[in-house]
Amino acid sequence: MSDTTKILTIQDISCFGQCSITVALPIVSAFGIETAILPSAVLSTHTSGFTDFTVRDLTDDLPEIRKHWEKEEISFDAIYTGFIASIEQLDYIKEIIDSRLKDDGVVFVDPAMADHGEFYNGFNQEFADKMGELCKHGDYILPNTTEACFILHKPWKEEFSRDEMLEMANELAEFTKRYVILKGDTNEKGKLGMIVLDKQESTCDVVYNDRIDYISHGTGDVFASSFVGSTMIGKTPSQAAKIAGEFTKRAIEKTVGDENHKYGVKFEQVILDLKELIE
């Protein structure tokens, strides 16, 4: 086997719509990292703004894929999870982490299940509790405030004070091996921030980027994927959060004003900017 860095990303494929693997594969690959995929489901489109979309749940395929990889001795330097299609898959993913992650490998968990105070279609508190268990296998977890509140059984609100954000990040430290990247700090005017907590070093940083008042499906996947890529090439978590936030902002800027583009952000048009951002 090659000694090239290999990442496995586990999330759904939306055949149309810029999210999940459709975002993760090109962005992580743009960092020069070999990226393998394990689809949790295949959808005709993503679930936001579309109706009558088709869904094929691939839960039963996950253990068979793991067994084949074991036979072929395929392993990964990192595993990055996103949208998971069923609660049963969470246990299968733990088995894949235990079996296919190299001894010095790292795990990134983006608990993609909720936003703006509500669960995505098909998810509930039972799923959030199970997702919290998966987060404990992660070296990095990347929740937004809604996902954090569901994991912690806290009420969500539109705005959290800085102290509340820091308190939430500290509570989330119980759900990660080391790092919490909590998205959604709005305490600096015109800025959007991330709390970056390292529980091993007992440090906490706040990283800001310019805020654009535009809501779109898939921005969390753009952020998480560019964070993963930045981290894997040696950036610190705070540096990676800054790069990911700026890259996501640029993708949003390219999309604002296009009324026909409601299914994601135009990250492809700024993907070459990553070279500038990581220098």
Tally of domains in the chain: 1
Residue 157 lies in a domain: yes
Q: What is the CATH number of the domain that holds 103?
A: 3.40.1190.20
Which among 115, 223, 109 is positioned nearest to 123, based on CA atoms? Answer: 115
Supply the pLDDT for residue 215.
Answer: 87
Domain extent, residue 268, equals 6-278
Following DSSP, what letter does each residue of 100-167 receive, concatenated? HEEEEEEEEE---SEETTEEPTT--HHHHHHHHHHHTT-SEE--BHHHHHHHHT----S---HHHHHH
Tens-binned pLDDT, residue by residue, of the chain (279 aa): 346 899 999 999 999 999 999 999 999 999 999 999 999 999 999 988 888 999 999 999 999 999 999 999 999 999 999 999 999 999 999 999 999 999 999 999 999 999 999 999 889 999 999 999 999 999 999 999 999 999 999 999 999 999 999 999 999 999 999 999 999 999 999 999 999 999 999 999 999 999 998 889 899 999 999 999 999 999 999 999 999 999 999 999 999 999 889 899 999 999 999 999 999
Strand 179-185 relative to strand 140-141: parallel, antiparallel, unpaired?
parallel
**pLDDT for residue 1:** 37
pLDDT at position 3, please? 66
Output the DSSP codes for 94-112.
HHHHHHHEEEEEEEEE---
Please state, as a whole number, how many other Cβ atoms lie within 10 Å of the Cβ of residue 220.
23
249 belongs to a structural domain: yes
**Residue 142 falls inside a structural domain:** yes
In one-letter notation, the amino acid at residue 69 is: W
CA distance 177 to 189: 32
Classify residue 202: in a domain, yes or no: yes
Neighbour tally for 139: CB within 10 Å = 16
In a domain, 1, yes or no: no
